[in-house]
Structure 1
């Protein structure tokens, strides 16, 4: 019997609350990004609240599948980041529960979410997409005056510019109408002014009937009607009622209507599979028809019989036939006729091939779009699982909750995913990549990352430890780290002051001997640095014994001792000898002159730094020895100051 543990309920509750919040945040961001595409359709059109509500409702339904993976990524990252930051994840692992066992409740939830995402794309999404497309067309069809903005010239009507000062959306009346009607040229333009007007669409949706009230019509006469030596004649008409028929199809045509029915986004998987079979059958028939036409036109000539063909073949084999010699014997008129006939035939065939190529390429593009959409329904559902195995391990590794670091990491992951996914989609749509490769390349790139992050998180890796990378960066650049030794609240073992003082005195002697033997102020030998390297274990030994003494004296309660301990520098014990551990890397660096020169001066800098560090260490050792002797002789051992 399956038993749900309290830990599973706890983690599921934490994840569920965050998932709901992040889902609506991601959905809102995607809607705002998607809205910019249709902002011109909404602003200044006088749309009612119910139309806007339908617009945003269908838009949100279309974007739900895209918001689910992002919400899972962000919520899982924040969930385990919070658990790691509050040390709850450490307590879970200390109790013998592995990270994958802590994942199990969320894995079940994410699988259900992925199935819900597929159901949404397959059932609800296509209907929402179709309704959204119909709403956009109906906004243009039913109210053509919505296309006309207030206070600016509108040039969407062919042949004229229309200006409307004010619109009444309840009655559909236009006020302060000004029209620049273009005919052949700017000189023949007509200017129409009217106090008010009405705009209505004709039954076939191809024209607009503009009814104007109380206005004037100014128009220049046609240029061919002008008389030489006279001014430009014009016509002025004052009217009470005027009706003008304008060409305007509201961007609705047969292609738009066909796009609604042929849109792959408005179909389920079963419909896509059925339509792909139908499209393949139709375009295969078209291709076979084109092939039969080509055979009939290029390889079958009715006027030439079989006997003539055999005779021509025999003649071609017995003697050489030259078209150039035949053409050279023609007169000029026949040459021109032959050339023009050949050119006309070539142009005609090229136009025919272009037309046939356009039909076949459109069919191929339509079939590819259906296949892409079918794969996309599965890939978006798989993104939910993939993003969980990226976000949850990253949260366990980074151990940072809230909306700071998790949001930054989520954005970076999504940018990488979007670049590969969008590039693959465009290449697959253009036919340059296979469809399955283009639509799965983003999953193929991120899946190894998900496996890597899960493995590292399950093994308590410090691959994303900020302190580790900070120390590595500071070591590479030679930046100093300040030592911090604080007074401990609980001390188990008191320091061995006498032994530590003796060790420090011995370290001072070794430092003096080392400084006398190695002149650190002098420039190092290029040959010894890059070609004849000898290790320097003396400084490594001195540093190890010095750190042991510092560790022991850090158990003191004396403030002067603690202050002196903080004066010790962190010494770089290898950087002053050679650039790399391996000899072949040093030789390669010497060959590459700019790199070798940089590494040489960097090592010289570390030699000078070591000289200063040894001087500070020796002075600090003397100060600690004096303080320890003062404590011993004055009877102030282990006295808190």
Structure 2
């Protein structure tokens, strides 16, 4: 690479190297980004395949779901693409001894990394804008569509030799189907729509299944059959009517199999569908709600504890309680205060007090449950707020790990770089997911849980940069071979005795 710039001034050479480095990086980055995104999207389909198969999804619906889910997975694919492209770019240059030539010309590794670091910082800024403005909309549309698909009924599939109960209120049996998929034989239709069992039965030797033009109805055109209808008369008497028909059309309503789209406004306040500004408002409102619910506890208790009432009746009760002679109460022994109550009123007062205590406990249980629910919602909002920034910064973090790693391992291509990148990405992802779950459960504050992976891996990045500047050989098999041979030499070897 340096042969192209022979005879150039050092300043001009550095500018050319900067441009060449960025060009060398963009190619692997684009390729790895789309490969990573494809793998993540396929993982999503494998996860939900069982729930989506048999729903009769059209090509447009599948493409729409594919594009929306791919959009939501961009924040996760971007850090892995940055890490893998960094290792590949610097590993390829190390394998071709280009890094050695650059260092020999007086350009340090940190100076050589500078243009890509600026590029990655700009990329992180774009990633934040994408996470803040595009991802909430994509989440809203993708998750609402996925919700509708998962809750829609599978398409009607009537198989020969099996009873089909997909249509509510009917059990349909078809003995055989011709190759055209429409002509059917030995048809039995049990009508259970009355809720009183099989009160109606239709038998036919032959028929046809004809869908309506708008696909809203399915018509069974039956030939040469019988209808059996059972009517319940007074006195538990049952009357069965049998009717023969030459041709009879039975119409089934298929509107229940059509996927109905849920109003997206029902999902728009979920934490995944909000940007930073909206999250700030929701966090502020949620904190005020928590404080307000705590302050309302006294209001809930006032009907049962009169001395909490700040009005005149409550104050009068407090004054009367102060005048009670405690020594006189102790004279009643174990009975205590109840000893002051006349015998004729004790049962009524005990029952009244028990009911009040039971009501207070129920009210406090509801208050505690509401408070816990509000705190969990607040924690989710906090986690999502920090996610907007932590996922963007992850691009910078993984570049600071990937660039020195590539310079150390000195291997290009998709072999060793892929293995190293996947290992570090899995470590980062596991720590991130662990911190997120701990934050949502309240075990850790949101800012600690969501930045825990950064706090753990950033020192490792600085260590790797230091090792790369010093031409460390920790990933070189020759280095390990030399260490192993040195260890072997430290142990004395036994000399074989010569045979006499």
1:451 aligns with 2:462: yes
Q: What is the CA–CA distance in structure 2 between the aligned matches of 1:437 and 1:219, rounded to whole Å?
A: 70
Match of 2:398 in 1: 387
Is the counterpart of residue 294 in structure 1 residue 304 in structure 2? no
* Separation of aligned partners in 2, 1:218 and 1:341: 64
Q: Superposition pairs for residues 237-636 of structure 1, below 5 Å? A: 241=250, 258=266, 260-300=267-307, 305-306=317-318, 308-312=320-324, 314=326, 319-323=331-335, 348-472=359-483, 572=489, 574-576=490-492, 609-612=493-496
Larger radius of gyration: 1
Contact 2:29 2:85 in 1 (8 A): yes
In the superposition, relative to structure 1, how do residues 360 and 221 fare at CA in structure 2: closer, same or farther (>3 Å)? farther
SS at match of 1:290: helix
Q: CA deviation at 1:122?
A: 0.8
Does structure 1 conserve the Cα–Cα contact (< 8 Å) formed by 2:304 and 2:356? no
Q: Does 1:93 align with 2:100?
A: no
Q: Is the 8 A contact 1:188 1:220 kept in 2?
A: no
Shift of residue 236 of structure 1? 8.4
SS of 1:261's equivalent in the other structure is coil
Give the conservation status (yes or no) of the 8 Å contact 2:401–2:464.
Answer: yes
Q: Which has the higher contact order (CA 8 A, sep 6+)?
A: 2
Shift, 1:403, TM fit: 0.6
1:47 aligned onto 2:57: yes
Q: CA deviation at 1:288?
A: 2.8
Q: Deviations over 1:394-427 (max 9, x none)?
A: 1100111111111111111111112111111111
Alpha-carbon distance, 1:37 to partner: 3.6
CA contact (8 A) 2:149 2:259 kept: no
Distance 1:294 1:25, change over 3 A: same
Residue in structure 1 matched with residue 19 of structure 2 by the alignment? 9
Structure 1 96/243 Cα, relative in aligned 2: closer, same or farther at 3 Å?
A: closer
Could you report, residue by residue, the CA deviation over 1:183-221 in whole angstroms, capped at 9, with x for unpaired residues? 99xx9678977976989xxxxxxxxx9987569999999
Q: Secondary structure at the match of 1:7?
A: helix
CA offset at residue 85 of structure 1? 1.0
Mark the CA change 1:235 to 1:307 in structure 2 (over 3 Å): closer, same or farther: farther
TM-score, normalised to structure 2, is 0.74
Where 1:5 maps in the other structure, the secondary structure is helix
What is the deviation of 1:40? Answer: 3.7
Cα drift, residue 68 of structure 1: 0.9
Counterpart Cα distance in 2 of 1:357 and 1:234:
60
> Given the superposition, is the C-alpha separation of residues 436 and 462 from structure 1 closer, same or farther in structure 2, using an over 3 Å criterion?
same
- Scaled by the length of structure 1, the TM-score of the pair is 0.59
Deviation at residue 471 of structure 1 after TM alignment? 4.5
Counterparts of 2:374 and 2:227, CA distance in 1:
49
Cα 1:290/1:472, change in 2 over 3 Å: same
Q: Give the total of aligned pairs.
A: 451
CA contact (8 A) 2:51 2:150 kept: no
**2:23 equivalent to 1:23:** no
- Does the CA-based 8 Å contact 1:180-1:190 persist in structure 2? yes
Taking structure 1 as reference, are residues 192 and 463 closer, same or farther at Cα in structure 2, changes over 3 Å only? farther
